[in-house]
Chains A and B, each alone.
Chain A
Amino acid sequence: MHPDYEMVIGLEVHAQVNTKSKLFSGSSTEFGAEPNTQANCIDLGMPGMLPVLNQAAVSAGIKLGLAIGATVSPVSVFARKNYYYPDLPKGYQISQYEKPIVENGMVSIDLDDGTTKEIRVERMHLEEDAGKSVHDIGLESHSHVDLNRAGIPLMEIVSRPDLRTPEEAGAYMKKLRAILRFIDVCDGNMEQGSLRCDANVSVRKKGVETLGTRCEIKNLNSIRNVMRAIQYEADRQIDVLEDGGKIQQQTRLWDNDKAETRAMRSKEDAHDYRYFPDPDLLPLRVSGARITEIRETMPELPDQMKERFIEAYGLSVYDASVLTISRQNAEYFEAALSLKNGKPERDPKLLTNWMTVELFAALNKAGKDIMDSPVSPEQLSELVSLIEEGEISGKIAKQVFAEMLETSKDPSNIVEEKGLKQISDTGALEEIIQKVMDDNEDSVEKYRNGNERIFGFFVGQVMKATQGQANPGVVNELLKKALAG
């Protein structure tokens, strides 16, 4: 990145609302059904069919509005966006346009340096999805259309151009996804297309106030690609400018294989969508009572939970952020803490390390979600308890944990079966220490002559003789006493 420039980024995120039925019809929204089995006469745009708004999708919109501290509009309007395409059966998409349901929100993002930044959300509106065109099956001369997706409710969440780096954009996506999942309105699955993103990118010389000409990048289906595409696009724009060129306002497509963006259409080719309020639907009115009712049932949000974790469990900002990135992580953590009257039975810091280092690494490697973890929170809690009680050492614990991942057995059973219990019995240890000293008379001599650095050697020998099961604290104490003569 050229040091004289900075990026200005705004994201338009499309989140599929996880309602059971579509935004304006009773068809199922379940993912993965046979093509066109979840499209009824309304979705097919049959003559005389009329839309009826799904109130569950409206409630989801209100929830998001409350979660990002936005204004929920008492009156919003669904408009028709008119254009022709075979996967758009009515010839128009019903979408909120001039009067969205949610305006002026804020998402606070966590940056790697431990600081946070506030990103303004301009608006969120509800709209229906289009169907899917398929060009690569059957006859080459024919295309196919699957209308299962047509009419599925989407929330389009539009940020202000407050993001300055690809990393900030990534953090914004992660936080937004966490919020959507916490309030249970979207599953956040980018691979299945439940969460999609378009990025508006421009560059400008540092210190310049005015915005540069922007390009919109489409087809970003993972957070990683959002970040890569933004970086690529910013570099491309800087190259153009440095060569004395001008940026054309364009829509560009991200090509994942070639890792580049390419022009799709220019501003001149932009459609005239001839928006107007949909006369089949009355303006959407949301009462204050309804907002209050939803507010009262709002779950704890990621930022609130993060604050609580820092406060109640003494965690670092970083650890608290990692644990609250998803409700499942947080719930797992709190279950493993074994709260009694609100007080954790386990050491939060020790447990956090085990979760974020060992467990997450193992899950990552296996490509599993915390929901499918072979180790239950109760089992991880027990493992940490065994360490805390001095029953096993940290090193043995890793061995036990590996076995737990394999077999999903309780750690105490594994310790029992494999005889991994830590030796704290001073009599037994004194015997072993004596034997180690007898076998290494030279070293004893050196130590007693003042070379205390070889103390670790004796510890190692004792641990080796006990296959690591000796309690290191007890060993240290006994060794010191024995070596002192």
Chain B
Amino acid sequence: MSELVKLGLKEAAEKVKAREVSSVELTQACLDRVQARNGDINAFVTVCSDKALEMAEASDQRVKEGKSRLIEGVPLGIKDLFCTEGVLTTASSHILDGFVPAYESTVTANLWKAGGVLLGKLNHDQFGMGTANENTHYGPVRNPWAMDYTPGGSSGGSVAAVADYQCMATTSTDTGGSSRQPAFMTGTVGIKPTYGRCSRWGVISYASSLDSPSVNARTVEDAALMLRAMAGFDPKDSTSADIEMDAFDEDLADLDVKGLKIGLPTEYIEVEGLDPRIKQTVLSTAKRFEEAGAEIIDVKFPLIEYAVPCYYIIAPAEAASNLARYDGMRYGLRVEGENLVDTYKKTRSAGFKLETKRRIMIGNYVLSSGYYDAYYLKAQKVRALIARDFQNALDKVDVILAPTAPTPPFKVGALTDPVQLYLQDIFTIPNSLAGLPAVAVPSGTVEEGGTTLPVGIQFIGKLFKEKDLLKVAYAHEQMTQFKPLELKG
């Protein structure tokens, strides 16, 4: 196996620009790796060999002409919720069978403009709904750390592909934790930027008010560079923010930990069901920062127990409506029935998996006349209160340190109760409800029955202050010297 696949995004781009390696060589190395591993890991739904090499050749041509761009020539994996022009886009669902968009999502278009190469489309929990990557039409994704373990969800393919050295960075989406919980499960980095930082245009919607196009990579610096290439204001998305962008990947080491104020929410680490090893991970992170001169400040989140219920009202409500367009009339799967209503029923029954159907039903229920005020409206009020708590906390501190997930990685099929799965997101949902950015970073490993598994923490930052947040994550990365999974296979 070519050692080229071990290059990080920044390193690889620099080598391509310096003509130390060609984009074609790099891309071919990744394609070979995917070819060798996808049967086991199942990270890719679609591998775009021809298109990838074509884009790589064009990239090499640009380098020759001295027209190199930010992430020139680096092969990237794209979560299959991002529409890619002329390339099958499935949302990991049966209902989008054969759907080939005539348009390119803004985020992926930005990546190609920055010189990126489309390696393929990544598996995930369909429409972004799930925490174990089992809610997919294309079969579960496996955790490269241990094949009988899940890489988490919904962005299981996004993290598995980078953890397993199949590509240098990937896009993901994060609605209630879908880029961070999988990062935690695979010892990789996941950035959920501020809501509105990356355009949702051309990204298949799950819950519009929460969906945040996100990033997965093996290091903070690579993730930051990837975010820089993806983000930006987009007039085609009415919820996109017209706020100046930082060069997220530059000057990451430029942080004086001395005097840094880190919020540690008691309610988070006292949550029932939090594995003591995870709690310990958070506390030792706090300790390391404290020893380096940071100030650890207790912050209050009295409403944390309401975050998951609140999310599981708002997200399904929006999803039920967002997924109504998949009716078999214009594209994707169609199962003919006796009449119109029968065709709708048969198509949607066959096209969605159980968890997706469950959320559609919950969503329609909470929006129904007579229940709207009790559920949807109340959830919106709770959401506003949670956002207020964050604002109060972030007035006092620079970042908040929190667990990412409540337990170490678990096995495929281990969690069958939906509520148990929903509680996986207990630490990632609250700041998503507030639109705040967060970054999940690995901090060590634990042993489970002889298997070494990664664990990590997350930092939550201020609105549109991703750069400050990433500096803290970078400092953490330097302190822990976490050893990523070794290249195997």
Contacts and interface: CB of A to CB of B under 8 A. Distances in A.
A10 to B, nearest CB: 22
Interface stretch (A45-53, A371-379, A434-442): A45-53
A53 B238 CA distance: 8
B374 interface: no
A132 to B, nearest CB: 14
B83 A47 contact: yes
Interface of B: 81-83, 89, 91, 96, 99, 101-103, 105, 200-205, 207-209, 235-239, 317-318, 320-321, 323-325, 327, 329-331, 340, 344, 364, 367-369, 372, 376
A311 to B, nearest CB: 48
A456 to B, nearest CB: 77
Contacts of B208: 278-280
Contacts of B101: 46-48
A91 B321 contact: yes
A50 B201 contact: yes
Contact of B325 (A45, A272, A275): A45
Contacts of B105: 48
A473 B113 CA distance: 88
Give the interface centre of A45, A47, A276 by most chain B CB atoms within 10 Å.
Answer: A47
Contact of B238 (A45, A90, A91, A280): A280
A31 interface: no
B205 A274 contact: no
Given A41-B103, A50-B237, A279 B324 contact: no
A92 B364 CA distance: 13
Contacts of A145: 329
Secondary structure dominating the interface of B: loop
Given A47-B96, A274-B367, A280-B239, A90 B324 contact: yes
A274 B237 contact: no
Secondary structure dominating the interface of A: loop
A189 interface: no
4 smallest A-B Cβ distances: which pairs? A91-B324, A279-B208, A274-B367, A279-B209
Contacts of B202: 48-49
Contacts of A282: 238-239
A234 B330 CA distance: 43
A80 B96 CA distance: 23
Given A91-B321, A279-B209, A279-B318, A50 B372 contact: no
A90 B324 CA distance: 6
Given A47-B89, A47-B96, A90-B325, A276 B204 contact: no
Nearest to B365: A274
A274 B361 CA distance: 12
A47 B93 CA distance: 12
Given A48-B202, A50-B236, 10 more contacts: A47-B325, A49-B201, A52-B238, A84-B324, A272-B368, A274-B320, A276-B372, A280-B205, A281-B238, A281-B239
A145 B237 CA distance: 27
17 contacts: A41-B102, A44-B330, A45-B325, A46-B330, A47-B204, A47-B205, A48-B204, A52-B237, A52-B238, A90-B325, A91-B327, A272-B369, A274-B321, A276-B317, A276-B367, A280-B239, A281-B238
